[in-house]
Structure 1
């Protein structure tokens, strides 16, 4: 069977656009998509080869127009590869957390002991993940963080943690807390952890998402405004073109309108109640090499009703 995108390259009205996108995808498949971890161990009926998977994914859609629009959506996916994620780890530490510590400690570059004081401040800072999605060991190794001894995720601590033991551990050992998360959509999953810190800890805390959607950004800015001990500095905030809302907004980019139509085509085929992702009516175009976030629009990762995904998601629980 001839692959759909091979056929499109023979159509005069699509030849150039299709060939240009295929040139990009050849590069992405070779340099990025092969590192997608949920497919390192083969899954039944889901090929590891990206182009074989792409052709099968496009054939989920009914009709040539929907398939062509889905093909163009692939160019809009914000894929975070292994090297990009490592760079986000470095930026979060060097350019966000350390700058914050300099301000917290009122350090000055002309101080002969500046480096010594900053190193002391770093050693008395607890760098922890908000959820187990953030790979704290990788963050530590890249940034040469060796202390303290434990780096728990605070979503779990908010549910199972003993407040007295946590504060006893912090006392005389920790001056600052830095909470890191790889991706935040609306902020629903991280909100309990932030509330736990706000209610029970007295030390200054910095929340650092590596990547965050506009809705999550608004939520965390509000928290930081209301609580002086909570500070918020993201590494990367997604632009509007990387987020698809069910309800149209004014002056949307053309690709957002087109991609919403693709989500709605998926909904019509699968009867998925939440086609925009975990947060009903709002999803992103983010795919990370470690996994596909549950806030990502479901046409990309769903396996509902026999749907063949482009980037299948490794999940804790079955989708609704």
Structure 2
């Protein structure tokens, strides 16, 4: 389907409405106009779609995506579902970086360092603790840690490793006296290269851009909690309900060293499937779940509601998480399904 065909279909759907509610006579046109606005001003900068394999224009992808299904009812459903997607732009992430740093991280450092607001040197001490003695690292490589440092004007710590990689290279069940761990512990004591005076790192902040089921972050956080003698704060910028459950379990398992403070939580009211069955009140949620499951049969999609059946509807400017519904991002079997936000997969 092309965009002109979609516009014609939208006109027919609105013209076919029979009833007294005047607002419903232009329901689908208003949705399309809203999506067109978002496509031009917010959703246009989606990195994976800039590949030559896909149509860069959002409206073109929207029309092709809706054209994947044949029945008018399914097409209407996809159009309505598209406006429920939660898209985080690059500018949104800059705001999330600053919100994390100026909010939960700052409060945690104040508590950890025992700072008092009545101290005349409070501001200078806080800045020193935040920028000289606190280490900010990503949980996985999907978190752009360099942008976090730049957005918050942090400098002085040269290395910012992915802790999922550290956990892979130095498994917990091995001898704790490993070369990797020894070098890491030495770095924590003196992270400033070329400085005569030692400025040890006293605490660790682990950041992640998006957490869905919590599977990826679990081993990295456990590794840090068991291998390092540091207080740790875990800060997911965006986290779904299942991931929040895993994070709570981890903080209970390591209560003396581990704290957590997500910035944005995607609750059950915004999830499909079992994770949202009690609180998601969208009138078409069951129809959407049914459509996803029908596509599972026809297109061999093993997890139609996303990885671990998370059921979220999130897209970020850099990628579509695999915890979101497969029909949003998955390209299957020789273009038989054209995605709205094609995902750049690791596999």
Shorter chain as denominator, the TM-score bin is: over 0.9
Residue 135 of structure 1 deviates from its aligned partner by 0.4
Higher Cα radius of gyration:
2
**Deviation of 1:15 (Å):** 4.3
Q: After TM superposition, where is structure 1 displaced by more than 4 Å over at least 4 residues in a row?
A: none
Query: Where do residues 183-222 of structure 1 align in structure 2 (5 Å cutoff)?
Result: 183-222=210-249
- Counterpart CA distance in 2 for 1:265 and 1:241 is 23
CA–CA distance in 2 between the matches of 1:79 and 1:32? 8
The one-character-per-residue Cα deviations of 1:81-100 (angstroms, maximum 9, x if unpaired) are: 11111100110111111111
CA drift of 1:147 comes to: 2.2
For structure 1, the 5+ residue unaligned runs are none
Q: In structure 2, how many angstroms separate the alpha carbons of the residues matched to 1:15 and 1:312?
A: 32
CA deviation after TM superposition for structure 1 residue 304, in Å: 1.4
Q: Is the 8 A contact 1:206 1:232 kept in 2?
A: yes
What are the Cα deviations for residues 56-84 of structure 1, in whole angstroms up to 9, with x where unaligned? 11111231111111111101100001111
Asked if structure 2 preserves the Cα contact closer than 8 Å seen for 1:300 and 1:311, the reply is yes
The count of residues paired between Structure 1 and Structure 2 equals: 314
The corresponding residue for 1:31 is: 41
Unpaired runs of at least 5, structure 2:
18-23, 171-179, 191-199
Match of 1:103 in 2: 111
Of the three residues 1, 6, 9, the one matched with 1:7 is: 9
Change (3 A) 1:79 1:247: closer
Alignment match, 1:291: 319
Deviations 1:259-314 (A, max 9, x none): 312312321321211112222x2231000001111111100001112210000001
Residues 101 and 275 of structure 1: is their aligned pair in 2 closer, same or farther, counting only changes over 3 Å? same
Moved more, 259-268 or 219-228: 259-268
Q: Is the 8 A contact 1:66 1:265 kept in 2?
A: no
Q: Under a length normalisation based on structure 1, what TM-score does the superposition of the two structures give?
A: 0.93
* Counterpart secondary structure, 1:35: coil
Distance 1:19 1:230 in 2: 50
